[in-house]
Amino acid sequence: MSTSATPIQLYSHRTIPKSMNQQHISIHPLATNNGLIVTPPVQQQQKQQQQQPKQELTVSAKLLMHHNLNTDFTSKYVLGQELGSGGFGFVVAAHERSTGIERAVKFIIRKKVPSNAWVNDPKMGPIPMEIYTLKHVRHENIIHYCDSYQDDTYFYLVMELHGTQWVPPSNYPMHSPDLSQNSQSTIDEDELVEPPQRQFVRRTSCDLFECIEQHKHFKESLAKKIFKQIADCVAYLECVGVCHRDIKDENIVIDQDYKVKLIDFGSSVILPRHSTKKLFTRFYGTLSFASPEILLSNPYRAEPAEIWSLGVLLFTLLFGEIPFPDSKSAIEGRILKPKINVSNQCKHLISSLLEKNPDNRPTIHQVLTHPWLNED
């Protein structure tokens, strides 16, 4: 593998290629034309410090500041704003040098990838399941794979960047559009130098979570439009033998036209082609979207657990809150009484998705044929 000889120090916008400069591109506070920091003269630094308040570095800046980035990557992309950080790494915007097109780059920390989440790729060797999955799926509601690189510390997953920035309310804590803060694993504190109290050059989120925060809840017709896109996506994945295993609003990016795309395949698994009884014992998703059998630490089938997560998602779209206030309520199947009235067909679909017994939940293909999703 190839890495640069000079440590990257992240980000200044001085030497953006001309074609990119004309597009008014926003650059991460540490990147230049060759991917390296240009340190301003001391007097200029002092003047800048006097003019603006002290700003904290992002997680990506702290971790990449003295890191040797892959030279094949830096020859093609220049890094931009941080998009998020979480359990297995962090996500940074990047622009293609030749076109100026903006992408999302997920830096996956090698040592954070679970032992059972590796797949052997003929060209790259052992790679995380997330990269392998995105390379081999193609659906209009799944974020598109663009490229991948690696070095001794990180895998770089380059993806399309989709969604509208849904500005959160004042003082509302921002979270990652690709890496959930609710995930079970997090970056170890000793890997960061003085974890920031607030983020610097951190873009607001484009995910469904923030969209719901802005809308409070969706009308039934709009909730149906959004939910059907995700159900179509889950059905496609099952047909190609993949289960996402972390369906939730934070792992769905959405634009102003309510076109959604599923992201973050870090918990995904490949399902056996000729068996529907494959059981899993480990869970890497989000507890508020976890099914009763998972919360009880029982061996579970991925497909019915995914259906439960879709039920939580649909409830959240319609009512602006999750259906269970705690794990005990979820295990017992005690769904919160909605404060908003919806049609009987909608209520029926929600109750079937949130069936306590996984054997009694519908398959994803049965969900797609439900009357609520097919009525005008």
Over the stretch 52-98, which tens digit does the pLDDT of each residue have? 666 678 899 999 999 999 999 999 999 999 998 887 899 999 999 99
Tell me whether residue 320 is annotated as binding: no
Question: Known binder of ligand: residue 86?
Answer: yes
Backbone angles phi, psi at 198, to 5 degrees: -145, 160
Please give the pLDDT value at position 277: 77
Q: Give CA–CA dist 222/336, Å, rounded.
A: 22
Q: What does the pLDDT read at residue 49?
A: 57
How sure is the predictor about 202, in pLDDT bands with cuts at 50, 70 and 90? low
Name the DSSP letter for residue 31.
B
The pLDDT assigned to 4 comes to: 41
Per-residue pLDDT tens over the stretch 217-272: 899 999 999 999 999 999 999 999 999 999 999 999 999 999 999 999 999 999 98
Secondary structure, 3-state, 58-72: CHHHHHHCCCCCCHH
Tell me whether residue 249 is annotated as binding.
Answer: no
Task: State the pTM of this model.
Answer: 0.77
pLDDT (0 to 100) of residue 341: 96
Nearest alpha-carbon partner for 317 in 213, 183, 176? 213
Please indicate whether residue 246 is annotated as part of the active site. Answer: yes
Average per-residue pLDDT in the chain? Answer: 81
pLDDT at 183 over 50: no
What's the pLDDT at 47? 59
Q: Which of 246, 249, 257, 326 is catalytic?
A: 246
Domains observed in the chain: 18-191 (3.30.200.20), 208-374 (1.10.510.10)
87 assigned to a ligand binding site: yes
pLDDT at 119 (0 to 100): 94
Residue type, 344: N
Cα 53 to Cα 47: distance, rounded to the nearest angstrom: 12
Strands 77-86 and 89-96: antiparallel
- Determine what percent of the chain is predicted with pLDDT higher than 90: 63
Please indicate if the annotation marks 160 as binding a ligand: yes
Taking the C-alpha atoms of residue 231 and residue 259, their distance in angstroms, rounded to an integer, is 13
CA distance 28 to 13: 8
